Amino acid sequence: MSDNLTNLISAAVAAKMTPDFIEKEVNSRVEKLVIECIDRSFRSYSDTAKQVEEAVTAALKVDRLDLPSYGAMVTAMLKSQIEAVVSPIVAGRLAADMEELLKLAPAEIKLSEIADGMRERYRDRHDHAYGPIISVVVEESETIPGYYRIGLDEDEADRRTLRACDYEIAIGKDGKIYSATLEGRNLKDTSRLGRNWGMDQLIRGWYACGTKIIVDEDAVVTSEGDY
């Protein structure tokens, strides 16, 4: 029995071990082995892979890209876009500021009207003020007729000298302000930041717009109520 089995196996193996079969299987194994070797050789950490990477990099190297510069064009586009958006906003704001300034600074104003405006804020108070509530001091130049120095104080009614007043303005024959002191600061001092209010804002507006101040000293009223 065993001999028959041995003979069968031998016959089967002999039948398979033909030259064509052996060549095919050898080729197949060799091909597989070669592929595995190549795969190992081309892995990222292998010397071959590094050499190939260097060769490919060198082959694809571009010494100089001759591309046009678009900096000037982009700058022009940005400028155009910004002007298109910002200009109307700025123009509108300037127009509003100018309108506000013109309301504050008419072509001319009487000293009595200035005093009336200073007294007006007391009329809305619950403890309605009576009697002298503001100060207006007027001095005409002794050497140059028509030149005045005017002291204004909207918080004190007992100021008798220019220096005692919070505000002092000097006007020429044309009635325009040529110098002023606003709460101890020179009118032309630009170091102060922020917006001005009240008399400070008014005087700056008169100066900026060249408002003519008419001195009608006899008509100036500094009191309020039945005093």
E-only strand ranges, the chain: 108-110, 131-132, 135-140, 148-153, 167-171, 177-182, 185-186, 212-214, 223-224
pLDDT value at residue 110: 93
- How much is the pLDDT for 133? 86
* Tens digit of each residue's pLDDT (9 = 90 or more) over 152-203: 998 877 788 888 999 999 999 999 999 999 988 888 875 554 445 688 888 9
Determine the pLDDT at residue 137. Answer: 92
Q: Look at residues 172, 119, 121, 117 and name the one whose alpha carbon lies nearest to residue 150.
A: 172
Cα→Cα distances 124→47, 121, 127, 128, Å: 94, 6, 9, 7
pLDDT at position 129: 62
Among candidate residues 182, 177, 181, 198, the one with its CA nearest the CA of residue 108: 177
Q: What pLDDT shows up at residue 191?
A: 56
pTM: 0.53
Helix axes 198-209, 71-104, angle to 10 degrees: 110
Q: What is the pLDDT of residue 194?
A: 46
Q: What is the pLDDT of residues 190-200, one digit of tens each?
A: 555 444 568 88
pLDDT score at 149: 95
pLDDT beneath 70, residues of the chain? 1-3, 5, 41-46, 48-49, 56-57, 60, 62-63, 65-68, 97-104, 124-130, 190-197, 218, 225-227
Q: Which residue is it, tokens 């024959």?
A: 173
